[in-house]
Chains A and B, each alone.
Chain A
Amino acid sequence: MLLRLEPRPQPSRLMAWCSPLIAAALMLVTGIVVFGLLGQSPLAAFKSFFISPIDDLYGLGELGLKATPLALIAVGLAIGFRAQVWNIGAEGQLTLGAICGGGLALWFHESTSGWLLPGMLVLGALGGMAWAAIPAFLRTRCNTNEILVSLMLNYVALLLLAYLVNGPWRNPEGFAFPESRMFPEAGLLPALLAGTRLHAGALITLAAVALGWVLMSRSFIGFQMQVAGLAGDAARYAGFSRERLVWISLLISGGLAGLAGVGEVAGPIGQLLPNISPGYGYAAIIVAFVGRLHPVGILLASLLMSLLYLGGESAQLELGLPSAVTGLFQGLLLFFLLAADLLIRFRIRRVRRLRLAVAKESAS
């Protein structure tokens, strides 16, 4: 006996919107079972993972702090994903943004000018765009796969950052630690809420979400991307240039990822370190899909993903669980989301024997 997937004639639209919720619920159930197997009381584990990290103002500030780069990157990625341009290199673009923006702050490390911070943001966005331009150029010129190129460039970017903070940009008064100088006050994002670490980057994210919505649902270029993603032949028939869409998608997502990188080093970190991101560039891919590639959905999904980061930290501290739990929960979420999406579009049928002839004929 075999199982076979059959396309459903009419995939439910309601279910397509519910599938992130289903995935989140299944992630929760599975997570609690895993906690149980690790010898923890499920209830206590649930509390320490999902409740205690955000039961005070500081915790809520942390929630927003981590959601800030996630939503910013995910909005940019979603724009490209809707056009089927798969930028997996947000982590590297974030790193380049941090290097370029941070580099400016280090160059003017005694500056008090009000122009330093805007300059860092612009330079950071340009750095991210430049990094994303590499897969865009190779894709449009040499027809390389942007997934592989952008992914591999992540490691290059991380090594470049490691070289800089170990070498030329190492803090001369830093006892040989691989860290840069601290940024000057003028190179730091102002705090938004006293008693928390939430910074002005959150406003940039909200603006990007709003602009992302306008771009996706009101602009002609967003329409072109949507058509290219849904029906490539229709886009070619209408005369939408595929190359242009690849460039625009990658430059927007790269620019926003670069901005997120500046937000991290000019926000909670305040200097350049070898590790500036706990995988925000990868987690944002999950955020984009859990948010159904819609800006509002992405905002909500970024809060959920942020909670997973906080819960993972708190579970390490309070329960002594390994740090891998964060990755575990992220993976569970994505896995259940993909499974739910698959079952919305297909159904499973049992077949006694699978013959080529039968399969062919029922397909025709």
Chain B
Amino acid sequence: MPGEVHAVLGENGAGKSTLMKIIYGVVKADAGEMRWEGQQVTVTSPAQARKLGIGMVFQHFSLFETLTVAENIALGLDHPPDMKTLSGRIREVSERYGLPLDPNRLVHALSVGERQRVEIVRCLLQEPRLLIMDEPTSVLTPQAVERLFETLRRLSAEGVSILYISHKLEEIRALCHSATVLRAGKVSGHADPRQESAGSLARMMIGRELPVCRHSAPAREGEPRLVVEGLTLASDDPFGTHLHNIDLTVRAGEIVGIAGVSGNGQQELLAALSGERLVVNHTVRLGNLPVGQLGPAARRVLGLGFVPEERLGRGAVPELSLTHNALLTARRGGMVHFGLIDFARVRAFAERCIREFAVKCGGPEAAAKSLSGGNLQKFIVGREVLQEPQVLVVAQPTWGVDVGAAAAIRQALIDLRDRGVAVLVVSEELEELFEISDRIAVIFHGRLSPAKPAAATTPEEIGLWMGGAFVQDSGGAEAANEVRHAAQA
């Protein structure tokens, strides 16, 4: 319907993105027909989709960091006008829809929210009648989400139809007029999200009740297990984030969550914690022991477990079997004798990991890449947990993982905490952090806020901090400037 905001809802792997790619002509359908404004059409390419009046904003941006906003937009247009006209039109469109954007800025200097604006403006310049948004809020702060919703409501009021893909139920209830729910590649229901509760939508989405994590009150204060003190680090990546004077303590028996929009220094902090990046020795300590100059293997011997954000290619080698992947980090306990591998023991460990963490796979000899994201993540978390670490650092524990597996992973982390392990979780999902963390800190532009007890803060406050609000407390002209940038985002 013109002006309708229609949600497409489903778990990861339910077929949402595939369906959208068919509509946008990126992928060809095997069977079935598509009707556009009453006419049957076959869309064979994105260019044709654009000609029909369909625009799409992808989950992953396709922008060139070294070019300006206007140049990036020109590259995406089929018949770009000259730069001056284009810049004018970009300003005009972006102001009309409340998406302030300077056409002459370089993309690498933009925040993630601003980059998304570039993608949206690029679509709007084509004057689409249908706009497809693929999980647009997964990278935004709560405040930026609110601004995006205002823009989408304005578009909808002008008669633009919007297909909004998400698995975040609250957002859909706040924004959308109608919803189609997908499960395992099939439509499992239609609903009016304004009439449904989050629980009933979840049931339609996963076919059963939403699993809830059991979370007991934090145990009494344990001794500090992981201490970061005054960590300052220049990023190796020219577009990376430098870390400024980070202080953090994770105690035995607690989960500390670090919130923040991606690209604010999480990668750099995690590399410094895992040992993939060496730092000044005393700035990272395990217990009382300075480990800043120790590599990942030495830190693992001292009881540090680490689950990285990238599962394939970092946490696991895609081409190798689960047995081999178990050996990647779990090689103590007699798995290697005189430099030779005891494959029977490694396989037994992999089998235990598969059994205890309910990993769905073709057995310990299955290649890592044959597993779904959620099952591979369960295997990697299981591999680290079964080694009984003193400290476990987890990045994006449930990113791209289906609801059931996500609940199992969160429960495993909570159980670990209850056994007295110090757990640090870095995540972009605020809901998740509030569900499992005892204390929450926020990282913004390479600075880390103090950690607040989760019970004493709210998602709104953390959301403001994610935009840099905590930096004002520490003062400084540079910090204030960063806040201004962030406020635009």
A residues touching B (Cβ–Cβ < 8 Å)? 214, 218-221, 223, 226-227, 230-231, 233-234, 236-241, 355-358, 360-364
B456 proximal to A (CB < 8 A): no
B284-301 contacts to A, CB under 8 A, are 295-300
Contact (Cβ within 8 A) A358 B317: no
Interface string of B294-334 (1 = CB under 8 A from A): 01111110000010101001111111100010011101000
B171: min CB distance to chain A, Å: 22
Given A233-B310, A357-B78, verify A239-B296 contact (CB < 8 Å): yes
Main secondary structure of the interface of A (DSSP, over half): helix
> 13 extra interchain contacts, Cβ-Cβ under 8 A, other than A233-B313, A234-B317, A239-B298?
A220-B327, A230-B320, A231-B317, A231-B318, A233-B314, A236-B296, A237-B274, A237-B329, A355-B47, A356-B75, A360-B75, A362-B26, A363-B62
Known contacts: A219-B341, A223-B327. The answer to whether A241 contacts B295 by CB under 8 A is yes
Is the CB–CB distance between B314 and A234 below 8 Å? yes
Q: Which residues of B contact A220 (CB under 8 A)?
A: 327, 331, 336, 339-341
A129–B99 CA distance with the chains assembled, in angstroms: 63
Give the top 7 A-B pairs by smallest Cβ distance, nearest first.
A239-B297, A239-B296, A233-B314, A361-B46, A231-B317, A220-B336, A231-B313
CB-based nearest B residue for A363: B62
Contact of B58 with A364 in the complex, beta carbons under 8 Å: yes
Contact with A along B376-409 (1 / 0, CB 8 A): 0000000000000000000000000000000000
B60 at the interface (CB under 8 A from A): yes
Q: Is the CB of B329 within 8 A of A238?
A: yes
- Smallest Cβ distance from A282 to chain B, in angstroms? 28
B333-360 vs A: 1/0 string, CB under 8 Å?
Answer: 0001001110100000000000000000
Does B275 reach chain A (CB closer than 8 Å)? yes
Most buried by B among A219, A223, A238, A363: A238
Q: Is the CB of A226 within 8 A of B62?
A: no
A239 to B76 alpha-carbon distance, docked (Å): 41
B341–A358 contact, CB under 8 A? Answer: no
Closest to B63 in A: A360
B276 contacts which of A221, A227, A237, A357 (Cβ < 8 Å)?
Answer: A237
Contacts of A241 in B (CB 8 A): 295
B329 touching A364, Cβ below 8 Å:
no
B339 touches A221 (CB 8 A): yes
Q: List 26 A-B contacts (CB under 8 A).
A: A219-B341, A220-B339, A223-B324, A223-B341, A227-B328, A230-B317, A230-B320, A231-B318, A233-B310, A233-B314, A234-B315, A234-B317, A236-B314, A237-B276, A237-B296, A237-B315, A237-B328, A237-B329, A238-B296, A239-B298, A357-B46, A357-B47, A357-B78, A361-B46, A361-B58, A361-B62
- Minimum CB–CB distance from A180 to chain B (whole Å) comes to 40
B45 is an interface residue with CB less than 8 A from chain A: yes
Closest to B346 in A: A223
Residues in A whose Cβ lies below 8 Å from that of B336: 220
How many angstroms from the CA of A220 to the CA of B343 in the assembled complex? 11
Shortest distance in angstroms between A13's beta carbon and chain B's nearest beta carbon?
10
How far is B62's CA from A218's CA once the two chains are assembled, in angstroms?
Answer: 43
| Structural contact, B306 and A237, CB atoms closer than 8 A | yes
- Of all chain A residues, the one with the shortest Cβ separation from B301 is A239
Q: Is the CB–CB distance between A234 and B313 below 8 Å?
A: yes
Set of chain B residues within 8 Å of A230, measured between Cβ atoms: 317-320
B368 to A: closest C-beta gap in Å: 10
With a cutoff of 8 Å between Cβ atoms, the chain B residues found around residue A221 in the complex are 339
C-alpha gap A236/B274 in the complex (Å): 10
Measured between beta carbons, the chain B residues less than 8 angstroms from A218 are 340-341, 343
Select one of A214, A238, A364 contacting B328, CB under 8 A. Answer: A238
Q: In the complex, which residues of chain B have a beta carbon less than 8 angstroms from the beta carbon of A355? A: 47
Question: Which residues on A sit within 8 Å (CB–CB) of B275?
Answer: 239
- Name the residue in B275, B328, B336 with the highest tally of chain A Cβ atoms < 10 Å from its Cβ: B328
Of B310, B320, B340, B341, the residue contacting A227 (CB under 8 A) is B320
- Tell me how far the C-beta of B86 lies from the nearest C-beta in chain A, rounded to whole angstroms: 15
Report whether A358 and B313 are in contact in the complex, using a CB–CB cutoff of 8 Å. Answer: no
CB <8 Å contact, A239 and B300: yes
Of chain A, the residue at the smallest CB distance from B298 is A239
Interface membership of chain B positions 41-67, coded 1 if the CB is closer than 8 angstroms to chain A and 0 otherwise: 000011100000000001010100000
Min C-beta distance of B371 to chain A, whole Å: 15
Docked Cα-Cα span, A256 to B300, in Å, equals: 35
Task: Report the bound CA distance from A356 to B73 in whole Å.
Answer: 12
Chain B CB within 10 A, most for which of A220, A234, A241, A360: A234
A12 CB to nearest chain B CB (Å): 14
Q: Contacts A230-B317, A234-B315, A356-B75 given: A239-B341 contact, CB under 8 Å?
A: no
**In the complex, how many angstroms separate the beta carbon of B122 from the nearest chain A beta carbon?**
10
- Tell me whether A219 and B339 are in contact (CB under 8 A): yes
Question: Which residue in chain B gives the minimum CB-CB distance to A236?
Answer: B276
Are A364 and B314 within 8 A (Cβ)? no
Residues of the A chain whose Cβ atoms lie less than 8 Å from the Cβ of B300? 239
List A contacts of B45 (CB < 8 A): 358
Q: A218-B341, A219-B339, A236-B276 are in contact. Are A226 and B313 (CB under 8 A)?
A: no
| Residues of the A chain whose Cβ atoms lie less than 8 Å from the Cβ of B343 | 218
* B316 A234 Cβ-Cβ under 8 A: yes
A360 to B328, CA, bound (A): 35
Q: How far is the CA of A218 from the CA of B58 in the complex (A)?
A: 45
Minimal beta-carbon separation of A357 from chain B (angstroms): 6
Residues of A within 8 A of B340 (CB): 214, 218-220
Q: Which residue of A lies closest to B26 (CB)?
A: A362
Q: Is B297 in contact with A238, judged by CB distance below 8 angstroms? A: yes
Nearest chain-B residue to A238 (Cβ)? B328
